[in-house]
Amino acid sequence: MEKKSRGRQKIAIEKIAKKKSLQVTFSKRRAGLFKKARELSTLCGAEVAVIVESPAGKVFSFGNPSVDSVIHRYETGDFCPQEDSRKKYLYSMEDLEEHKKEKAMGKSNWWEDLCVENLGLEELEESMAAMQVLRNNLLIPNLTLDQFGVL
Amino acid sequence: MEKKSRGRQKIAIEKIAKKKSLQVTFSKRRAGLFKKARELSTLCGAEVAVIVESPAGKVFSFGNPSVDSVIHRYETGDFCPQEDSRKKYLYSMEDLEEHKKEKAMGKSNWWEDLCVENLGLEELEESMAAMQVLRNNLLIPNLTLDQFGVL
DNA sequence: AGATCTATATATAAGTG
DNA sequence: TCACTTATATATAGATC
């Protein structure tokens, strides 16, 4: 009889080349890591903090009892407070409301939707994709978001 | 024949009552958690920090590239350009191969095509659309192509 | 992007030295 | 507490939807 899958394959612990595989693996293993962290803290009554930043720059965290409390314990001596904690956000709630209205009036088009919708957590990746378009199309070798001082 | 051990036993995820078991489990699982964290950062090029405080109050940590840098990112949302992991996130040769295959199978979509394939001069208008995406997403009021010295 | 499935790789509970 | 063993529980790569 046919095997339905080859099952879990062994992989080398080195950077995954294929972007799609990397994305999938990142999601699965991030979930796995957080689960292990939660189990450790529950089983052993240990304080645990885990912070992960995706290749796309999204930050995920887990903490028991909280990330901050664990960090405070970790930090010894003086901690330099950030000199610049200006909030850097993209669309405001008002922007989203406005877009909803316009959409309801049948005024939207594909790229506006791409720009405005689903931007809660995904905007960074979308923006990077747009950046990649720019970079590829216009042959700007090392264009990055931070050149605009907005990130 | 006799089994030499009952093997790994299922346990409930709740505080371990026996002090000795708790100690042993803590050591093993702490090592396992750090290993998973290291694998995640290697496989995906992700920045990861893990801090664990044992019930006895001893602090262990793992960080890539360092606990401090990840904490800084977590607390401020800022990042230093030299350790901007997003720059690592470009298309690899494997991605291009994958894209070719998918396109041959009729699986492609406009966005991937736009991102991955080389675009001719006639797609400049689409680049302008991408520019609009950038401008809208990032609230950069007056971003224009000539700022990059390419037009 | 996320859920689900299969088969297999890996982690680990319990025991021993 | 560390190192090793065994048998089993769990995580997950790859594929599909």
A66 touches B: beta carbon within 8 Å: no
Tell me the nearest-neighbour CA distance from B35 into chain A, angstroms: 10
Separation between Cα atoms, residue A120 and residue A131, nearest integer Å:
18
Low-confidence ranges of chain B (pLDDT < 70): 1, 77-91, 107-151
Separation between Cα atoms, residue A99 and residue A85, nearest integer Å:
28
Q: What is the pLDDT of residues B52-62, one digit of tens each?
A: 999 888 899 99
Distance A145 CA to C3 C1' (A): 33
- B86 closest CA partner among A128, A24, A28, A14: A128
Residue B36 has a CB neighbour count (10 Å cut-off) of: 22
What pTM was computed for the model? 0.67
Separation between Cα atoms, residue A71 and residue A48, nearest integer Å:
9
A105: pLDDT confidence band, cut at 50, 70 and 90?
low
A92 touches B: beta carbon within 8 Å: no
Question: If residue A5 lies in a helix (H) or strand (E), which one and from where to where?
Answer: none
Maximum alpha-carbon separation in chain B: 81
Query: Among A63-67, A87-91, B135-139, which is the least confidently predicted range?
Result: A87-91
- Average predicted confidence (pLDDT) for chain A: 68
What is the signed CA dihedral for B140, B144, B145, B151, rounded to 10 degrees?
-160
Is residue A69 within 8 Å of A62, Cβ to Cβ? no
Separation between Cα atoms, residue A63 and residue A65, nearest integer Å:
6
Residues across chain B: 151
Q: What local confidence, expressed as pLDDT, does residue A129 receive?
A: 57
Q: What is the pLDDT of residues B103-122, one digit of tens each?
A: 777 765 665 555 555 433 33
Q: What local confidence, expressed as pLDDT, does residue A99 receive?
A: 54
Q: What local confidence, expressed as pLDDT, does residue B96 receive?
A: 73
Q: What local confidence, expressed as pLDDT, does residue A131 receive?
A: 57
Write out chain A residues lying below 8 Å of B130, CB-based. Answer: 130, 133-134, 137
Distance A5 CA to C3 C1' (A): 17
